[in-house]
């Protein structure tokens, strides 16, 4: 089994748990932008967006650079790859379960259902 830095994964999943932060990451996937530009579509304060960006930074998902008074953010996708790798461990489990369900459903006699789709 692949070993993961639990604290790092905890931060990544914590950051991804919030829908606002996920939307921020989606916006950053299109390219670097200022924090103010990131905040535009949200009905929250610039300070609240900055706090969300800080959580994303702590998870390693965002890199911020400062030029004068402007703060630029850029997506750092590497932690997402680590989270995906952790999740992939369970892919085999779910694939096996779904394949077993499919086989069981195919093995069921079809005459148990009436023409209207109700059990006889």
Q: How far apart are CA 53 and CA 20, in angstroms?
A: 10
Tokens 């905890």, residue located: 10
Domains (ranges, CATH) in the chain?
1-108 (1.10.10.10)
pTM across the whole model: 0.72
**Contact yes or no for 33/27 (Cβ under 8 A):** yes
Residues 46-66 have pLDDT tens digits of 999 999 999 999 999 999 999
Q: Which two tokens stand for residue 109?
A: 């006699």
For residue 75, count other CB atoms closer than 10 A to its CB: 19
Cβ contact 60:11 at 8 Å: yes
What would the pLDDT profile of 16-29 be if each residue is shown by its tens digit?
A: 999 999 999 999 99
């Amino acid at each position: 089994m692949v070993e993961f830095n639990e604290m790092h994964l905890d931060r990544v999943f914590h950051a991804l748990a919030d829908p606002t932060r996920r939307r921020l990451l989606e916006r950053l996937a299109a390219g670097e932008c200022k924090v103010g530009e990131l905040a535009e579509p949200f009905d929250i304060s610039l300070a609240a967006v900055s706090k969300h960006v800080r959580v994303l930074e702590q998870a390693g998902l965002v890199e911020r650079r400062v030029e004068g008074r402007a703060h630029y953010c850029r997506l750092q996708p590497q932690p997402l790859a680590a989270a995906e790798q952790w999740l992939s461990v369970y892919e085999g489990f779910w694939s096996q379960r779904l394949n077993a369900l499919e086989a069981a459903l195919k093995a069921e006699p079809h005459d148990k259902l009436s023409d209207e789709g109700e059990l006889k």
